[in-house]
Amino acid sequence: MIILDKWKYTIYVSEKKDGTAREIKDFIYTKQVHGNALHILDKKIEFIDSENDGIISEIPKIKVWVLLADCNGILLMGKRWYGAIHAWRKGLQNGMIEKALDRLKNYDEDIAALHAYIGPSIRACCYEVGDEFLGYFNKKYFSRRDWKLYFNMIAMIKDILRDADIPLKNIEIHTDCTACSWRFFSYRKSNKNQRIVVAVEKK
């Protein structure tokens, strides 16, 4: 388990050696469906019994997680409020990150003082996509190699965070691509049922 002390928060990223998400305890999670619902967590429970792809809370000393295998686990950490967001292609199309940032803004968080962390996810080296993706997103996020098309989700997420006024120095991105690193589970690398955990805990 990677454990990072950042600002007023502790970040957790599970590795293959920690086992699958089912074996990891003491975290609060929700049913993720590649949708765009955000759950506002106002009490300590083990499992949120509705479908969400983001959790926002201000409760300290609980571990709020998202489950991933190639998708992006994005943690947003403010002075008081924080969030854990699951974002993949559909999440980016649905404006999941913008939605979470809007919610934090509504809670009077100073977005320019937010910190963001993105866990290991599939990167432009391995995320081969179909040409239909060119209709979904700006062409600048794509590259071609050997006639294959690759999508750079990290570049797009960084732009979304920066456009929302989070300074680049406040954005930290794990360096590993889940598909070419052996440290993490990857859906594309045939770990169909295993997930990694990216979690945040306010101290």
Q: Smallest distance, Å, CB 179 to Zn ion?
A: 5
- Whichever of 37 and 155 has its CB closer to Zn ion, that residue is 155
- Whichever of 179 and 198 has its CB closer to Zn ion, that residue is 179
Q: Smallest distance, Å, CB 176 to Zn ion?
A: 8
Ramachandran region, residue 71 (left: φ > 0; alpha: ψ -120 to 50; beta: rest): beta
- Whichever of 1 and 125 has its CB closer to Zn ion, that residue is 125
Q: Any idea which residue has 């570049």 for tokens?
A: 155
Which parts of this chain interact with Zn ion (CB under 5 A)?
125-126, 177, 179-180
Q: Smallest distance, Å, CB 188 to Zn ion?
A: 9
Q: Smallest distance, Å, CB 113 to Zn ion?
A: 32
- Whichever of 156 and 200 has its CB closer to Zn ion, that residue is 156
